[in-house]
Copies of this chain bind each other. A is one copy, B any other.
Amino acid sequence: MAKNRADKNFVPDWVHEAPKPGSYRSIFKWGAPEAFKHPNRRLYKLIKETLGLTDGDFRTRLSLGNEAVRFDRKTGLTKNRIADLRRITGNENVQTDDYSRVRYAFGKTVEEAEKLRHGIVDRAADAALHPRNKEDVRKIVDYCNRHRIPVYVYGGGSSVNFGLRPSRGGMALVMSTHMNRILELNETNQTVRVQPGIMGPEYEDALNNAPEKLGAARRYTGGHFPQSFEFSSVGGWIAALGSGQSSSYYGDAYDLVVSQEYVTPAGMIRTLDYPATATGPKVNDLMKGSEGSLGVLVEACMKIYRYLPENRRRFAFMLPTWEAAIQASREIAQGQFGMPAVFRISDPEETDIALKLYGIEGTALDAFMKLRGFRKMERCLFIGTAEGEMNFAANVKRRVKKICTRCGGMYITGYPVARWEEGRYTDPYMREDLQDYGIMIDTLESGVAWDNIANLHKGVRQFIKARPQTVCMAHASHFYPQGTNLYFIFIAKMKDIKEYIRFQDGIIDRILKYGGSLSHHHGVGKMLAPWMEKHLGRSQMNALKALKLHFDPNNIMNPGGQLGLDSGGKDWRKIK
């Protein structure tokens, strides 16, 4: 319970107990059950000020969702069907209890968390299946296709767009339980063959420690570090086209895949391990980003890199304006000296908040920056690292410094990078703390060409800030010679989930209106599906539908709104 004194040192009574096993909270809470990262004093103060709140608003927590999961809908599967599935994949790998049917049917959107807090289970799986190998998957898909049972694929469960939600019940296929192994490290080709359910930390750890764990001659890295790293799987990265925090150097998930194997209702499909080919349209590429709607990814061969942390260089700059930050990052991305790995520019609002959170605000450095003319709500933070071979990395840092200086920037050491690194995976933990008091924090992101970044930023920001008492931060963090992404974060106290959805829909509308792509690296899921045809155009959608029809003629793979393939532009929430 919150402390009852109106004192200067008031700290909200953030939840610091692991959710009860079997509870709703155990499903929607981000990350490890016993891990927490509470908003620090500075962030708490900032939120109160910006959102117009007082300590009083943080005295009573809203519904925490600590109740045990229980709901009254029976599984849609007959006993015979369940018995059949048990025969396929083993007794212990078929779960039909309430908890499993919910746990593997929910991702990590604010909306899902909000529903679960109130014990609302809008959609659940009929059963959770834990296939042991690709042969299990083949039999399951075959069985489900014959009996028209929907199949949804669950990797790490970190989807933020309802990508795994079982709109139509059916199976939740949990890939991370058994199909989570490294199958083969090929040091000559610098590739690794994995099962799709392997999670970020296990994957990276095995590669970093390849000599000890895999008997290899060298250490490697996968180069893929999305914010969801700790709770997402390699298969999920491929299925939803993720992008890691070092993607500017290592590439996006799309670039990291050498070959794949899928089980589809139309049969198995395996692509080939070539570095490049000219043998017609690349089927390997068209399967990426299919978000479980064409088939189940059962194996992937990934590119890996040599692990050279000793060569890493860190750097941070303060740029005088957002325009200067864009200009500097464009010069870097087009400079033909190689790319920084971490590469991130924050807009003025995010910059000021970062300086506050990193403890730089009010220090001598801050005073010096002000003296040098870097003003609040104008200045922009640039953080980065250079990786790769030693001289290459050193040259990247030197060129970045030169360009930032030419754009009016000031070098502010590698300290902000180190502070950013501390929170790179743990910031999402704060979401539950805030939501406990009715405050929503959420993100939307978009790909954008250089000539439109300022316009997109302005248009979306204007919409978000038109809502009173709302934080709007933005950054660009994945760079290409032709453009980058914009990542918007908003924090607001919302009356209810309806208000939240309306607001979010408004942001998506604005992203499209101002020429951003519908998603840069979160994927589409069911959330963005209604905008897909408007964004891609009917002819591209028809091509996707043709692929869908080929691989999944009975629409059993992730049916009910995924990618907008079968929903006719309808809101998936209204699909029966």
Contacts and interface: CB of A to CB of B under 8 A. Distances in A.
Interface in A515-551: 517-524, 528, 532, 535-537, 539-540, 542-544, 546-547, 549-551
A341 to B, nearest CB: 11
A450 B278 CA distance: 18
A273 B449 contact: yes
Contacts of A451: 186, 188-189
Contacts of A9: none
A337 interface: yes
Interface residues of A, number: 92
Contact of A519 (B279, B291, B335): B279
A77 interface: no
Contacts of A450: 188-190
A42 interface: no
A391 interface: yes
Contacts of A308: 336
A541 B258 CA distance: 18
Contact of A518 (B188, B279, B338, B536): B279
Interface string A203-242: 0000000000000000000000000000000000000111
A338 B280 CA distance: 28
Given A190-B334, A388-B336, A544 B283 contact: yes
A189 B282 contact: no
A288 interface: yes
Q: Which of A240, A254, A532 has the most CB of B within 10 A?
A: A254
A93 interface: no
Contact of A484 (B275, B522, B537, B563): B275
B520 A277 contact: yes
Interface string A156-189: 0000000000000000000000000000001011
A329 interface: no
Nearest to A188: B451
Nearest to A483: B275
A276 B543 contact: no
Interface in A371-389: 387-389
A191 interface: yes
B395 A270 contact: no
A286 B289 contact: no
A481 interface: yes
A267 interface: yes
Nearest to A395: B391
A520 B278 contact: yes
A330 interface: yes
Contact of A278 (B285, B480, B482, B519): B519
Given A190-B481, A275-B480, A392-B395, 13 more contacts: A191-B482, A266-B539, A269-B543, A274-B449, A276-B478, A276-B521, A277-B517, A277-B518, A281-B286, A337-B388, A391-B395, A391-B398, A546-B547
Top-10 shortest CB links A-B: A546-B550, A275-B483, A241-B278, A337-B389, A275-B480, A336-B388, A269-B539, A275-B482, A337-B392, A188-B451
6 contacts: A267-B539, A276-B521, A278-B520, A283-B540, A337-B388, A543-B551
